[in-house]
Structure 1
Amino acid sequence: MRNTLPMKPSVTPARGAIAVRRAVARDAKRLTRLVRGSRAYQGQYAAMVAGYRVGPDYIEAHRVFVAVDTGDPAHPVVGFYSLVLTPPELDLLFVADGTQGRGVGRLLVAHMKSEARAAGLDRVHVVSHPPSEGFYRSVGALPTGTAAANPPAVAWDRPELEFPIP
C-alpha cells in the first residue's frame, strides 16, 4: 500500500519531490541510523539513542511512515514518523540532518494528522525532545505539561504537547 500526501507549495525538498509511504521491514536499519545519527541527540542527549533500534517488529506493530526523495534515483529516506494508536502518541519523528529546514518535518506532521483523523483520533500526544518543542508548537501542538526525567537514559525533563485532530 503506497500512501502519499500532496506537497504544499511551501515545501522545498532537498533535491526533488518528497513522497510519504508506509515503512516496510527493510527500512528498519535506515530508520535506526537516522535516529542514532541525529545531531539533535549529540552531547548531553546521546545516551538516549545510543542503543536505540527501530526494528521490523516495531514497524509492523505501529503506523510508521517514511519520507523519500523521489528526485534522487536511490529514493533515499529523508525522514520518518511513528504514530501509536493506543494510547494516541507521536512516538518518533526524525528528519535527516541535511534535509532539515526544507519542509519535510511539516509534511510528515501533516501526514500524521491525516492518519490520526482517518483512525478516528481526536488528539495525539507527544513527549518532545527539548530542542524540538518549538517545531512542534509551530505545527500546531499545544503544551500540556512536562514529562519528568527518567535517568540514566533520559536525564532531563521533556515538554509534553498534544496535537488536536479536528
Structure 2
Amino acid sequence: MKVRPARRSEAGALTELALASKGHWGYDDAFLASCRDELTMYPADIECRRTTVAEEDGRVLGFTTLDGAPPEGALGMMFVAPDALGRGIGRLLFEHTVAEARRLGFVRLTIDADPNAEPFYLAMGAVRIGATLSGSIPGRELPLLEYDVTSR
C-alpha cells in the first residue's frame, strides 16, 4: 500500500470512488444523485485541497482531502472503496492526513461526517461538537466532529 499525492487526472475517478463509497451505506440512487455535486472532485481541487490517495498495485483504494489554512482546517473528504473496507486504509489515510496537518501547522480539524462514518472518527480520537447541515440534502444534519491535531 502506497500513500501519495493525487493527480489532477484522477479527479473523475475520485468522484466515482466517493459516490461508490457513499453508496455502500445503502443510500438510494436519488440520494446519491443529490450528493454528486458535493462529492465531485475537479482537477483544480486536487492540489488546493491537498488530496492524497492510497494506492495498491496501481489501483486507488481511497482518498482524503485536507482543506483550509492553518491553524484550523477540515478533513474535507475521506472515502474508501467499498471492496477495500476493513483493511486499515481509512486509518492509514486518516493518520497520514493528521501528520500532514501537524507538519503544516494545523492545530484543529473539523469533520462533517456521514452518520455511518462517525464511529470510525470517534475511534480515531475525534469528538462530536455538534451538527452541521448537509450541503446536499435540505434538512439533513450531519455529525460535526473535531480532532485536536496536537493531541498525538
So what's the TM-score if we normalise by structure 1? Answer: 0.80
Q: Which stretches in structure 2 are left out of the alignment for 5+ residues?
A: none
Query: Matched residue pairs, number?
Result: 144
Q: Give the match for residue 32 of structure 2.
A: 46
Q: Give the match for residue 118 of structure 2.
A: 133
How far apart are the structure 1 equivalents of 2:102 and 2:113?
21
Q: Give the match for residue 143 of structure 1.
A: 128
Residues 45-64 of structure 1 correspond to what in structure 2 (within 5 A)? 45-51=31-37, 52-64=39-51
Aligned counterpart for 1:65 among listed residues 52, 77, 100:
52
CA RMSD of aligned residues (A): 1.8
Matched residue type, 1:57: A
Provide, for residues 132-156 of structure 1, a one-character-per-residue CA deviation record: whole Å limited to 9, x for no partner: 1001101111111111355x63541
Higher strand fraction: Structure 1 or Structure 2? 2
The structure whose Rg is larger is: 1
Question: Structure 1 vs Structure 2: percent identity of aligned residues?
Answer: 33
How far apart are the structure 2 equivalents of 1:80 and 1:128?
15
User: What is the CA-CA distance between 1:42 and the residue it aligns to?
Assistant: 2.2
User: What is the CA-CA distance between 1:49 and the residue it aligns to?
Assistant: 2.3
Higher helix fraction: Structure 1 or Structure 2? 2
So what's the TM-score if we normalise by structure 2? Answer: 0.86
How far apart are the structure 1 equivalents of 2:93 and 2:25?
18
Are 2:8 and 1:25 aligned?
A: yes
